[in-house]
Amino acid sequence: MSDTVFQIGSYATTFIAMRIAKRADDGRIEWSDTVKNAAEVHTTLADLLTMNSGLGAYDGDMPFMLGMFKTEREITQRLFD
């Protein structure tokens, strides 16, 4: 299984949200705080978690679903070509 490719993109949001919520509960951050050095100044933590940050779109599985690649391995290999 060491060569298996897992698509975990959306799962990461859950863990990030839990970490941010804990810090907000502790009073260390506010939901309206801006995300510095990662996005434009007006982007907030809430924007990121609701996928409303203005960052570039992620096409996810689109090439795979459109038949451009037969396997996930082909998609991964394209990154190194």
pLDDT averages per 10-residue partition of the chain, 81 residues: 59 79 87 66 74 57 64 77 70
Number of domains in the chain: 1
Q: Tell me, yes or no, whether 52 lies in a domain.
A: yes
CA dihedral 11, 48, 63, 1 (to 10 degrees): -30
**Spatial separation of the C-alpha atoms in residues 39 and 54, rounded to whole Å:** 8
Q: Report yes or no on whether pTM surpasses 0.75.
A: no
Q: Domain span at residue 48? A: 9-80
First to last CA, the chain: 23
**Spatial separation of the C-alpha atoms in residues 54 and 81, rounded to whole Å:** 29
Q: Tell me, yes or no, whether 3 lies in a domain.
A: no
Q: Tell me, yes or no, whether 37 lies in a domain.
A: yes
Q: Tell me, yes or no, whether 1 lies in a domain.
A: no
Q: Tell me, yes or no, whether 43 lies in a domain.
A: yes
pLDDT for position 38: 46
